[in-house]
Amino acid sequence: MRVVMEAQRAFGQVPIEEIKFDPRSRDDIPVVLRGLRSIYKNAKTREKIFELLEAGVASGVSHKLGRPGMDLWRIFVLGVVKQALNCDYDRLTHMANYDKLLRQMLGHDGWREEGDPEYHVQTILDNVSLLSEELLGKINAVVVEHGHAKLTKKAR
């Protein structure tokens, strides 16, 4: 059973559109996460991506039976970060558990404390590997379209 994204925010959780980034940071992670935030804030782009994810990742899965899987937004975020950083699953797991900005983008309250969700390597591997090259190509086309639209608006 897959959920697109949890509708109810937890106490202390920062809405994705309000995540703060250091504008002087030269690291690649904030740049990737700012791009994800831009995609999240654009309802039309977000809907297209979720439709692709539902068709590609959650196809053939009953939404009424079975245990809940990782939601599609988290799979998407982790997949994008893995691709952008060209990192292995161990680094991705460490970042998902301990990087404040990434945890906020995943829908958590930031720093991990006792009782907060913890990601395991196998869970991330099983879920992120559901993003096939074909599916990533389709998502890439939507993201490029979104980027072109933003550039066109800035040029005006």
pLDDT at 140: 93
Instruction: Note whether residue 117 is domain-resident.
Output: yes
pLDDT at 121: 95
Mutual angle of helices 72-85 and 133-155, in 10-degree steps: 80
**Residue 113 CA to chain centroid, in angstroms?**
21
pTM of the predicted model, to two decimals?
Answer: 0.83
Q: Which long-range contacts (CB under 8 A, 24 or more apart) does 52-55 make?
A: 52/135, 52/138, 52/139, 52/142, 53/4, 53/135, 53/139, 54/2, 54/4
Instruction: Note whether residue 48 is domain-resident.
Output: yes
pLDDT at 14: 80
Instruction: Note whether residue 23 is domain-resident.
Output: yes
Instruction: Note whether residue 10 is domain-resident.
Output: no
pLDDT at 48: 95
Instruction: Note whether residue 9 is domain-resident.
Output: no
Instruction: Note whether residue 89 is domain-resident.
Output: yes
User: How many distinct structural domains can be found in the chain?
Assistant: 1
pLDDT at 117: 81
Instruction: Note whether residue 3 is domain-resident.
Output: no
pLDDT at 1: 35
Structural domain including 99 reads 16-155
Sites in the chain below the pLDDT cut of 50: 1-2
**Sign, CA torsion 53/57/62/65:** negative
Q: How far apart are CA 35 and CA 118, in angstroms?
A: 24
**Of 145, 8, 137, nearest to 71 (Cα)?**
8
**Alpha helices, DSSP H, located in 9-132:** 28-41, 43-56, 72-85, 89-98, 100-105, 121-128
Instruction: Note whether residue 73 is domain-resident.
Output: yes
